[in-house]
Amino acid sequence: MKVNKQLAALAVALSAVSGAAVAAGNDSGAYLGGGVGYSYHAGECPAGTDCSRSDAGFKIFGGYQFNPYVALEAGYIDLGKAKASNSHGELSAATTSFTTAVLGMVPLGTQASLFGKLGMHWSKTKISGSAGKLSDDYTDNHNGFLAGIGGQYNFTPNFVGRVEYEWLNKADKAADVWDGDVHLVSASLIYKF
């Protein structure tokens, strides 16, 4: 029920923003991008446990820019793995997310812009654990809010470079051991059609 209310609120916001954006016209078009970065899994590390909270991450995304100020974007992010181990065994949690977001942009001249993004993520965490000769795997699905900030630079009319920070609320869930937000800092290359 909570998820349906979140999705309904997001749909209303997207409709309002996209309606205003279409009316404004200007600098518009579809784009595709991909990037690499560094993820940090902010779940609490239990006492007496060694935790590895950071890993490499990558993303692919596409969107439509309605004008110089507003874009809609959807993507897939691989947030890497968080790992925990102690004298009893090991646990790893590999998280991937599908995302949707509205981007609000502020042009800085004709080549560069700053942006903020708000949206939602739908994440899946594959948990693998072992203790001695015992091992188990299972998957946990969850969703939450996404927020980010960044900047981009137009190298040519078609190629754009982007750097950004994204926060995925409660994206990382590993049973009762690991439950936290994931942060991603990335650099991407975008092709505008």
pLDDT in tens, 85-103: 777 778 778 889 999 999 9
Separation of alpha carbons 117 and 100, rounded Å: 10
CATH architecture, domain 2-192: Beta Barrel (2.40)
Sign of CA dihedral 101, 121, 58, 184: positive
Average pLDDT over residues 133-146: 79
Separation of alpha carbons 148 and 42, rounded Å: 16
* Low-confidence winner among 134-138, 140-144, 181-185 (lowest mean pLDDT): 134-138
Which pTM does this prediction carry? Answer: 0.77
Separation of alpha carbons 49 and 87, rounded Å: 8
Residue 135 has pLDDT above 80, yes or no: no
Helix (H) or strand (E) holding 47: none
pLDDT at 65: 96
Going by pLDDT thresholds of 50, 70 and 90, the confidence category of residue 4 is low
Dig out the tokens for 50 from the structure. 């060694």
pLDDT in tens, 147-174: 999 999 999 999 999 999 999 988 776 5
Going by pLDDT thresholds of 50, 70 and 90, the confidence category of residue 19 is very low
Average pLDDT over residues 27-36: 94
Residue-range domain boundaries for the chain: 2-192
